[in-house]
Amino acid sequence: MKRKLLALILATTMLLAAGCSASGSNSSSASKDAFKIITSFYPIYITTINITKDIPDVEVENMTEPQTGCLHDYQLKPDDLVALESADAFVINGAGMESFIQDVLDQQADLSIVEASKDLPVLIEENGEENPHLWVSVSNAIKQAQNIADQLAELDSAHAELYRKNAETYIAKLEALRTEMHTAIDPLKNRDIITFHEAFPYFAQEFNLNIVTVIEREPGTSPTAQELAATINTVKNSGIKALFAEPQYSSGAAQTIAAETDAQVYYLDPVVTGEADKDYDAYINRMKENMQVLVEALQR
């Protein structure tokens, strides 16, 4: 009886030890070996997954929900800081988009920051703040992709060549997109547009469009009655036929203006939201849709 009991205890001990060993080994290989990258929001995530595509032992996770949109007033959550604790790199847009970045660094001073907009010229808004929507210009998106690849290569030298190779592939696709868009948009005689908020100055700059006025300077902040009346007068006096709202926000103000004028509401997408799945061509496909919308609207 004693021998049976001793054998049972010994077998149980060995099973427990084997179980602990296997569990520890799996979690260690998943967390220790992988180079973990966190991105701040959707457009940066799309660029980063293209730069890291098919690279072994490199993981990319987006910090915010893919439907979050621009991070102008984003408040960090405890889960965000927990996710960043295990990150090897935090890829951000920069140019003032992530207003919380100092709070992150106060908590994690050693976190490596990859700034997509590093050394890119930034437009200044009427309120004196930087306009961070650089990626809406295809040329800027190309520079951001190169910036991300170069900075990741410095941080993770083991995969440096793979980052740069992926960047070349993605940039070639972006360059083809830019050529296609210029071919379609450049011949248009009408260059005047009215946009929903300040997401499109870089886009307008690239394609030589003239933003006559902006309906809402800050998304989610409805224009005053005086501002609405002024925009209606601008549309009537200029003969502008197209108002460009964004699918992420209510188009109520734009619809009001359209009802008072001969203008029509169209939608341009600044690519700030998307689906949770890895859609590598999300930016390219959305910009092609923008191109088609512009051609239709400006030919009216």
Q: Identify the pLDDT of residue 239.
A: 86
189-298 fold: Rossmann fold (3.40.50)
What's the pLDDT score for residue 90? 98
The whole-number pLDDT of residue 3 equals 42
Mean pLDDT per 10-residue segment, the chain (300 residues) = 39 37 34 87 98 97 94 92 95 96 94 98 90 98 98 98 98 98 96 91 96 79 86 90 89 89 94 93 98 93
pLDDT the model gives residue 67 = 92
What are the structural domain ranges in the chain? 33-182, 189-298
Strands 242-245 and 210-214: what pairing?
A: unpaired
Topology match between the domains 33-182 and 189-298: yes
Give the pLDDT score at 157. 97
Complete edge-to-edge strand list for the sheet that includes strand 210-214 = 210-214, 192-195, 242-245, 264-267
pLDDT at 154: 98
DSSP 86: T
pTM: 0.86
- Please enumerate in sequence order all residues whose Cβ is within 8 A of that of 240, keeping only pairs 6 or more positions apart, or say none: 192, 193, 194, 212, 234, 263
CATH superfamily of 33-182: Nitrogenase molybdenum iron protein domain (3.40.50.1980)
